[in-house]
Structure 1
Amino acid sequence: MKPRIALIVGSTRPTRFADKPAQWMLKQAQARDDMTVELVDLRDYNLPFFDEMASNAWMPSQNPEAVRWQKKLAEFDGYIFVVAEYNRSITGALKNALDQAYQEWMRKPMAAIAYGSMGGSVALNHLRAIAVEMHMVPTRNAVHIGGADIMKVHPMGQNAPIEEIEANLLPSAKATLDDLVWWAKATMAAKRDVQAKAA
């Protein structure tokens, strides 16, 4: 069975840059025959700031939009996050979206395409720490767009098509997606084993 992967766009600003790397990463994932991928945009979920009595690890969420978000996440076997670096961390919208679920993230791998002046590396490290707390499996490899490359393709720079820096990104994209598929298959097999023993 092919892993089902969500490509989650983690920025919601009207002027966000995220769409360019998101569409590029979607294309890389769709070119493979060992996964299915769906773009999941946080703009499509009107999530409140987390205001539940507790995480859904402990009790069901009450907000209908949070429940709709959880149901969407539950459809997938792994995640690729499009990570913008805001002041050396992830966006508030992404942190809130992470907090709005718990059980749905558990024992699934996560990878990322990150961007910023330093390639989004500090933000991605924050995300990895959050993912570990939520029992996700962060992949070693990730795609980073930074330095001269980010200025080449960002609207505040030359706003060139991302294909102009593609040669710099393809090796890390392949390594990242290879990691993600391996861990998705491993965690899927482990969960099937647990279910079989419980039956």
Structure 2
Amino acid sequence: MPKIGIIIGSTRPGRNGEAVARWVHEIAGQRSDADFEVVDLLDYKLPILDEAYPPSMGQYTQPHTHAWAEKIASLDGFIIVTPEYNRSVPGALKNAIDFLYAEWNNKAVGFISYGGTGGTRAVEHLRGIAGELQMADVRAQVALSLFTDFENFSTFKPADIQRDTLNTTLDQVIAWSNALAPLRAN
């Protein structure tokens, strides 16, 4: 059974991502075809990338990098919960992704985004990043609007249809995580 990490892609005080990740985890936890856990970037306290060698070399020297690498390596796929900041990915999320390379390879990734336009532009950037990291990004995506899925832009109250879209995203991430298992075994 695959292990799927639900990554909270924002470290901002008062972030909406934590409530969204809890919602994803609650719905995902009702399934029996994968194990899910929330992975909070705040728990890893990653500074701006401070490794001397490119991540593709795998020569990590910092304790925080080793801890982050161990967590990401232990997972078979990901749901990334991300806001959209200035038409792109939050700096903390991009930085966390950039710390590693091989730990991301041959794993599936799905996206749950939020913002004024549903966070879709952040996800478009993340899809390109995923390709470079040899990840399989799934087609389905949950795009949450700050205008309709949040009350006063801060209290998460997703529309009912979002649950169906989430389950489709989970279905695809699990299927691809299973399909890529032989590649991860090599």
Q: TM-score, normalised by structure 2?
A: 0.94
Q: Give 1:185 shift.
A: 0.5
TM-align CA RMSD: 1.4
In terms of fraction of residues, the more strand-rich structure is: 2
In terms of fraction of residues, the more helix-rich structure is: 1
| Residue 185 (1) aligns with residue 184 (2) | no
**Contact 2:2-2:35 within 8 A present in 1 as well:** yes
Matched position secondary structure for 2:37: strand
2:78 alignment partner in structure 1: 79
| Within-5 A mapping of 1:1-199 | 2-146=1-145, 148-152=147-151, 154-155=153-154, 159=155, 161-162=156-157, 165-192=158-185, 195=186
Q: Give 1:19 shift.
A: 1.3
Matches of 2:70 and 2:183 in 1, distance apart? 22
Matches of 1:71 and 1:136 in 2, distance apart? 17
**Contact 1:9-1:83 within 8 A present in 2 as well:** yes
What residue ranges of structure 2 are gaps of 5+ in the alignment? none
- Which structure's CA Rg is the greater one? 1
What residue ranges of structure 1 are gaps of 5+ in the alignment? none
Matches of 2:182 and 2:143 in 1, distance apart? 30
**What is the number of equivalent residue pairs in this alignment?**
186
Matches of 1:54 and 1:66 in 2, distance apart? 12
Matched position secondary structure for 1:46: coil
Q: Give 1:67 shift.
A: 1.0
Percent of residue pairs bearing the same amino acid type: 37
Matches of 1:151 and 1:25 in 2, distance apart? 15
